[in-house]
Structure 1
């Protein structure tokens, strides 16, 4: 017996919706209208769609599924950062974060840190998500849905709100959900949707070597951040188990190839703990990155129950930074946002404490 596949509406590109309309005998321009309602206006239900006839909508509903993520909880940091807990249709939970940055000389920046998996299989020892284990990949509709549902929620307070930047740095390893992440990027970039520029989106990876090279070929415009965290294999093996599969020599070779293809610099993220901020480790990092097109982003480790890791003091961070600068390595420290609500780097989990 043939069972017709029900398509996730939020995961469809404009040309896919146009083709579906054609197959269903609906005027093809309805596909563009439908895409705008879903991706640009961030509607949550079919009933909010106004300029498509009820009969056409009924036909579309027979083939397509439109569901929003279940908004379970929101926390607001003293710095304005918002963390959202969403329940997916199968009952799984994810967290994502909205960070607002006000600027005097340019437009305000509204960055959403999205999740790409339920949990994470990589198991980095300093990360709360890794402690939760891996459940499943998110679909492109679920990835995009985080941006759309946050947009819908904030527009209740500010009708002109628009997400300007996306970082794929939430729960999960984006390059282990490669196809869905790349389609989500296309959806978010589409001029009839959120129209977020490719260069305003960044994928963070712990080092999935084959996908780094593939990303350079498939989408050289999107930004790349590599969670490096250590410059020696024996140390990185303990922090990031995937390093045993893709050790530093392979990872750095892939990074050089990425920059050769894209001509773009890579952000190398380094989580600093009280135990890894010695001068010799900074010197090893400088040697590893010598000649690489990129810069280092230092991230003092955020408190995560169960890891036992402590933050370094400011003097240690300054000394570490100075060693890199003296070696000619571009370096900056990440502006900390949302740590008081467990919304900062490495702090996202599947469950809110009060759930």
Structure 2
């Protein structure tokens, strides 16, 4: 493990006086340049410099006139969220702790392919909120409560910084994007911060932005049903559902948003996403299912899951639970996970078991914890519950 304090000049908060171009869509940048008296095509030029070459200094954008460079330097900036710490795991996983406006901290994790090749697959798990408005019982991220939504610049800035981490000592003209896959699975529920998240994913897909394939950008939701229907209309990305239980009674306990949007409504929305009239859309969803010992991992649960998903084209990803301090659950045994997986595979589903990565730097699924000015009092309630438990044990 390598934990490194990072000095960042962005802490000087340049954005108070200047317009931050990071996170602006092509249309927004076009309007910005129009207001400067420039042609809209300047938007795509600047987008390429920012996202494809990682350039933040307008004077290095060589196809802009000297006059425009000077004007941009006066009124604009390109400022990602400030990196407070970065940690590199022994298995190649990288984690960044970002300070966002207001002083709160959020985390972002990059997981390289197991082969470790320089140009191999690199998947970035991006946060969408400071904390999380939901309170899934098995997730340490949710125990810190919720403060606010992230802005588009703070979301896309996570990807920008991750790409830049591979660009040290690389000449500008030789730079290329190294992050190959993005999953909106970090801190927060993406569909509760809908517009900034969709705008950021648009930049990920844009040929003048990061140019990622629509099959390599995935949004994961716990089941905000109305927004799932909106998503199908607004952008073409892969969809993952944090399911974790095959019946309403258990899911109400593990994923409380299920009380508002029960499984019947959630599966209907997932089917609508798969069978959307737009033929470009993905034809299956990924089902995420965390494996909790003696809670949701029995053969009966597996058969219930088969029945629940029988008419939904889906791939199932089983996630070994990653313990956190005072967690009320334990990880299912490897034998139990494989037995559960076999039932699903024998029923005709494609079922994979996620390999735990980055747990030595608390970067595994469900372990991301930032610094949140909790508006929900959930963090305080969680601490009180822990202390109450300790008192009971001492009696």
Calculate the TM-score normalised by the size of structure 1: 0.91
Tell me how far apart the structure 1 counterparts of residues 177 and 270 of structure 2 sit (CA, whole Å).
36
Report the equivalent of 1:83: 95
Tell me how far apart the structure 2 counterparts of residues 89 and 44 of structure 1 sit (CA, whole Å).
19
Report the equivalent of 1:73: 85
CA deviation string 1:187-216 (max 9, x = no partner): 111112211111110000000111112112
Tell me how far apart the structure 2 counterparts of residues 39 and 177 of structure 1 sit (CA, whole Å).
22
Summarize the Cα distance change of 1:107–1:86 in structure 2 as closer, same or farther, 3 Å threshold: closer
1:273 aligns with 2:292: yes
In structure 1, list runs of 5 or more residues that go unmatched. none
Summarize the Cα distance change of 1:348–1:45 in structure 2 as closer, same or farther, 3 Å threshold: farther
Q: Please tell me whether the aligned partners of residues 271 and 301 of structure 1 are also in contact (alpha carbons under 8 angstroms).
A: yes
- Please, which moves more after superposition, 21-30 or 300-309? 21-30
Report the equivalent of 2:392: none
Report the equivalent of 2:250: 235
Root-mean-square deviation (Å) = 2.4
In structure 2, list runs of 5 or more residues that go unmatched. 1-15, 373-395
Tell me how far apart the structure 2 counterparts of residues 70 and 301 of structure 1 sit (CA, whole Å).
31
| CA apart distance, 1:53 | 4.4
Report the equivalent of 2:349: 329
Q: Please tell me whether the aligned partners of residues 8 and 65 of structure 1 are also in contact (alpha carbons under 8 angstroms).
A: yes
Secondary structure at the aligned position of 2:241 is classed as strand
Q: Please tell me whether the aligned partners of residues 238 and 282 of structure 2 are also in contact (alpha carbons under 8 angstroms).
A: no
| CA apart distance, 1:32 | 2.6
Q: Please tell me whether the aligned partners of residues 109 and 165 of structure 1 are also in contact (alpha carbons under 8 angstroms).
A: yes
Report the equivalent of 1:301: 321
1:119 aligns with 2:125: no
CA deviation string 1:237-262 (max 9, x = no partner): 11111011001111111111111114
Q: Please tell me whether the aligned partners of residues 206 and 228 of structure 1 are also in contact (alpha carbons under 8 angstroms).
A: yes
Q: Please tell me whether the aligned partners of residues 43 and 152 of structure 1 are also in contact (alpha carbons under 8 angstroms).
A: no
Note the 1:218-233 alignment, pairs <5 A. 218-219=234-235, 221-233=236-248
Tell me how far apart the structure 1 counterparts of residues 290 and 165 of structure 2 sit (CA, whole Å).
32
1:310 aligns with 2:330: yes
Q: Please tell me whether the aligned partners of residues 290 and 329 of structure 1 are also in contact (alpha carbons under 8 angstroms).
A: no
